[in-house]
C-alpha cells in the first residue's frame, strides 16, 4: 500500500463523511436558512460541494452523476455551473430540492469520487487533464484530488459556522 | 491481494491494452461497431446458439472492461442504456472516436472494474466479454458488479475456460494435455508477456459468485462452429481444439434479492 496516497484517499472520505453527518441532523428549514442576504444556506453550500465534486468525478473518470441522473431537468437547475462565481441573487434563486433528495445526490457523488480515488495510483495521479471541469484549467488528476480536498474542507468550515449560527453544534465540539 | 497488488495489476493491464489497442483493437473498432449481430469469443459463436443476453430494451447496462466498447454499442443499438467502464485511456479514446463516427452515444467511465465510480443498484445487467472477467481481480470486481446491480439484476461474463488454461503451456499454442496445476490457479502472468490475468476453477467461481450475492444460473461452454477458422490475432487456440473441448465459457448469474 502506498501510504501517502492512502492518506489522501482517507482524508477525502473523512471530509465527505463529516459533510454528510453535519447536514443529516438538520431540518429542511434549517437547511434553507441564510445568515444574511450575502451568505449562503447550508443546503446551497451542500449542493455546491456535490456539484463541484461531480466535476471532480468527471475529471477523474469521465462519469457525471449529475448528467446521468438528469438532475438538471429534475430540479430545474442549469445544466452547467456549480455555483462558483455566481452573484448572490443568482445563488439565492436556485430552487433547492428536498433534503432527502439533495442528500441522496451528495452521498452518491461523494461515494463515486471516493471510489475514483481508489482507482488511481501514482502513475494515474500524474495523468494530465487538458481542461479540468473542476478547476477550469490544465492540471493533473493528482492536482484535482488535492484541490478537491482543500475545496471541500473550506466549505465544511463554512457549514460548521452556519450551523453554529443556527445555535447548533458542529462536528468539532461536543 | 493487497491494494498495491491490485494497482500494479491494473497498471500492467493498462500498459498492455494501450499497446494491444495500437496493434489491433483500434483498427478493428470500426468493423466491430458496425456489426448488427452478437457473437461470442474468438470463433464467433452466435448469441442465438447460447441465448444468454435476451431482450435488452430499456435495460441499464454496465460493461465492465469495455475496451473499445463495441459490445456496449451493440447493446445501445438494441435499445439498452449502456455505460462502458474501462481503465485504459487509449481504448476509451478509440470508443469516443467511434461514437463521433457512428452517432451511437453512451457514457464512458475511465476506471478499473475493481473500483467503479458509479452508484449502488443502478443497473439491470452487468456484462463483461474478456474485460473484467479476465483482467480484473475477482475478489474486487465481483462485489463491485453486485453493488452496481439492482436486486434481481444479471451478470454475464465471457472468459477462458478452465480447461483451456490447464492446457496452455508457458509459450506457444494450447495443447491437448494438461500442463498446469488447477489447485492454486488465480493471478496469472505469462513469461515474457505484459499484463495480469485471473483464471479461476469452476468451484472457485461459484464460491466467489455466491459470496458476492449472486445465484449462478448458467455456465455455457462454447464450442467452435464447424466452419470456424483461426482468429487472425487471438491465435492462442486452434478451431480444431475448440471443436473438441471448450476454450471459452460464459457465466450467467443473478443478484439475489436479499
B156 to chain A, any CB pair closer than 8 A? The answer is no
Per-residue pLDDT, B2:
79
Query: Which residues have C-beta within 8 Å of that of residue A116, sequence separation ≥ 6?
Result: A56, A57, A60, A61, A63, B111, B115, B117
- Look at the alpha carbons of B105, A142, B142, A64 in this order and tell me if their dihedral is positive or negative: negative
Closest alpha carbon within chain B to A62: B109
Closest alpha carbon within chain B to A104: B119
**What parts of chain B have a pLDDT lower than 70?**
none
Q: Where are the alpha helices (DSSP H) in chain A?
A: 3-24, 28-32, 42-61, 65-68, 71-75, 88-92, 99-118, 122-125, 141-165
Closest alpha carbon within chain A to B8: A121
Model pLDDT for residues A111-130, shown as the tens digit of each residue: 999 999 999 988 899 999 99
Question: How far apart (Å, rounded) are the C-alpha atoms in residues B237 and B160?
Answer: 11
Closest CB from A65, A118, A127 relative to B119 = A65
Per-residue pLDDT, A69:
94
Helix (H, G, I), strand (E, B) or coil at A151: helix
Per-residue pLDDT, A171:
65
Could you write out the DSSP letters of every residue in A57-69?
Answer: HHHHHS--HHHHT
B89 to chain A, any CB pair closer than 8 A? The answer is yes
Q: What's the pLDDT band for A3 if we cut at 50, 70, 90? A: confident
Cell, residue B152: 434481481
Q: Which of A10, A124, A141 to mutate to test the interface with B (most CBs of B within 10 A)?
A: A124
Torsion of CA A10, A15, A17, A18, to 10 degrees: 140
Closest alpha carbon within chain B to A61: B110
Looking at the complex, report in whole angstroms how far the Cα of residue B95 sits from the nearest Cα belonging to chain A.
Answer: 13
pLDDT at A89 over 90: no
Closest CB from A62, A108, A121 relative to B7 = A121
Binding-site residues on chain A for chain B (CB distance < 8 A): 1-2, 6, 57, 60-65, 67-68, 108, 111-113, 115-116, 118-119, 121, 123, 127
Chain A residues close to B107, C-beta within 8 Å: 62-64, 67-68
Helix (H, G, I), strand (E, B) or coil at B85: strand
Question: How far apart (Å, rounded) are the C-alpha atoms in residues A135 and A128?
Answer: 13
Looking at the complex, report in whole angstroms how far the Cα of residue A65 sits from the nearest Cα belonging to chain B.
Answer: 8
Helix (H, G, I), strand (E, B) or coil at B149: strand
Per-residue pLDDT, A151:
98
pLDDT at A1 over 60: no
Nearest alpha carbon to residue B249 among B147, B156, B127, B117 = B156
Model pLDDT for residues A99-111, shown as the tens digit of each residue: 999 999 999 999 9
CB-based contact B144:B115 (threshold 8 Å)? yes
Ordered domains of chain A (ranges, CATH): 3-165 (1.20.120.450)
CB-based contact B203:B33 (threshold 8 Å)? no
Closest CB from B87, B89, B118 relative to A112 = B118
Per-residue pLDDT, B5:
82
Chain A residues close to B3, C-beta within 8 Å: 1-2, 6, 118
Flag if B11 and A121 touch (Cβ within 8 Å).
Answer: yes
Nearest alpha carbon to residue B165 among B199, B135, B196, B128 = B199
In the block, residue with C-alpha cell 475493481: B114
Q: What is the pTM of this model?
A: 0.94
pLDDT at A174 over 60: no
> Span A4-17, mean pLDDT?
94
Model pLDDT for residues A125-170, shown as the tens digit of each residue: 999 999 999 999 999 999 999 999 999 999 999 999 999 999 997 6
Q: What does residue A81 show for φ and ψ, rounded to 5 degrees?
A: 95, 130
Flag if B119 and A112 touch (Cβ within 8 Å).
Answer: yes
Flag if A119 and B112 touch (Cβ within 8 Å).
Answer: yes
Model pLDDT for residues A50-79, shown as the tens digit of each residue: 999 999 999 999 999 999 999 999 999 999
Strands B81-86 and B60-64: parallel
Q: Which B residues, 160 through 219, put their C-beta within 8 Å of a C-beta on chain A?
A: none
Does domain B3-255 correspond to CATH entry 3.40.50.300? Answer: no
Question: How far apart (Å, rounded) are the C-alpha atoms in residues B147 and B144?
Answer: 5
Per-residue pLDDT, A172:
65
Average per-residue pLDDT in chain A?
Answer: 93
Query: Which residues have C-beta within 8 Å of that of residue B100, sequence separation ≥ 6?
Result: none
Chain A residues close to B11, C-beta within 8 Å: 121, 123
B50 to chain A, any CB pair closer than 8 A? The answer is no
Chain A residues close to B118, C-beta within 8 Å: 63, 65, 112
Amino acid at each position: 500500500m502506498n501510504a501517502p496516497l492512502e492518506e489522501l484517499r482517507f482524508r477525502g472520505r473523512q471530509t465527505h463523511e463529516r459533510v454528510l453527518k453535519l447536514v443529516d441532523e438538520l431540518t429542511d428549514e434549517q437547511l434553507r436558512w441564510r445568515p444574511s442576504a450575502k451568505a449562503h444556506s447550508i443546503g446551497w453550500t451542500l449542493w455546491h460541494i456535490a456539484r463541484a465534486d461531480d466535476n471532480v468525478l468527471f475529471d477523474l473518470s469521465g462519469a457525471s452523476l449529475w448528467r446521468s441522473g438528469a438532475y438538471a431537468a429534475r430540479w430545474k437547475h442549469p445544466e452547467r455551473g456549480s455555483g462558483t462565481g455566481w452573484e448572490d441573487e443568482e445563488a439565492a434563486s436556485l430552487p433547492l430540492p428536498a433534503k432527502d433528495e439533495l442528500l441522496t445526490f451528495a452521498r452518491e457523488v461523494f461515494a463515486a469520487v471516493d471510489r475514483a480515488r481508489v482507482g488511481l495510483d501514482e502513475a494515474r495521479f500524474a495523468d494530465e487533464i487538458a481542461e479540468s471541469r473542476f478547476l477550469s484549467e490544465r492540471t493533473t488528476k493528482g492536482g484535482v484530488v488535492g484541490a478537491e480536498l482543500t475545496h471541500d474542507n473550506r466549505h465544511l468550515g463554512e457549514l460548521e459556522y452556519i450551523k453554529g449560527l443556527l445555535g447548533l453544534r458542529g462536528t468539532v465540539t461536543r | 491481494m493487497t491494494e498495491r497488488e491490485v494497482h500494479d495489476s491494473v497498471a500492467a493491464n493498462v500498459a498492455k491494452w494501450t499497446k494491444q489497442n495500437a496493434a489491433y483493437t483500434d483498427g478493428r473498432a470500426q468493423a466491430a461497431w458496425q456489426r448488427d449481430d452478437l457473437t461470442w469469443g474468438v470463433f464467433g459463436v452466435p448469441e442465438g446458439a447460447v441465448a444468454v443476453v435476451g431482450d435488452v430494451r430499456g435495460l441499464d447496462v454496465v460493461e465492465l472492461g469495455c475496451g473499445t466498447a463495441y459490445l456496449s454499442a451493440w447493446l445501445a443499438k438494441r435499445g439498452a442504456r449502456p455505460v462502458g467502464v474501462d481503465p485504459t485511456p487509449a481504448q476509451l479514446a478509440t470508443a469516443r472516436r467511434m461514437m463521433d463516427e457512428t452517432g451511437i452515444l453512451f457514457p464512458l467511465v475511465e476506471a478499473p472494474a475493481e473500483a467503479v465510480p458509479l452508484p449502488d443498484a443502478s443497473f439491470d445487467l452487468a456484462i463483461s466479454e474478456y474485460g473484467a472477467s479476465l483482467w480484473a481481480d475477482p475478489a474486487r470486481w465481483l462485489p463491485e458488479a453486485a453493488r452496481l446491480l439492482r436486486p434481481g439484476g444479471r451478470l454475464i461474463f465471457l472468459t477462458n475456460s478452465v480447461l483451456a488454461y490447464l492446457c496452455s503451456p508457458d509459450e506457444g499454442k494450447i495443447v491437448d494435455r494438461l500442463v498446469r496445476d488447477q489447485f492454486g490457479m488465480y493471478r496469472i502472468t505469462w513469461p515474457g508477456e505484459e499484463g495480469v490475468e485471473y483464471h479461476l476453477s469452476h468451484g472457485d467461481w461459484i464460491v466467489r459468485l455466491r459470496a458476492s450475492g449472486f445465484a449462478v444460473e448458467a455456465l455455457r461452454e462454447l464450442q467452435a462452429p464447424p466452419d470456424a477458422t483461426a482468429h487472425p490475432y487471438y491465435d492462442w487456440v486452434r478451431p480444431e481444439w475448440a471443436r473438441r473441448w471448450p476454450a471459452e465459457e460464459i457465466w450467467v448469474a443473478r443478484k439475489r434479492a436479499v
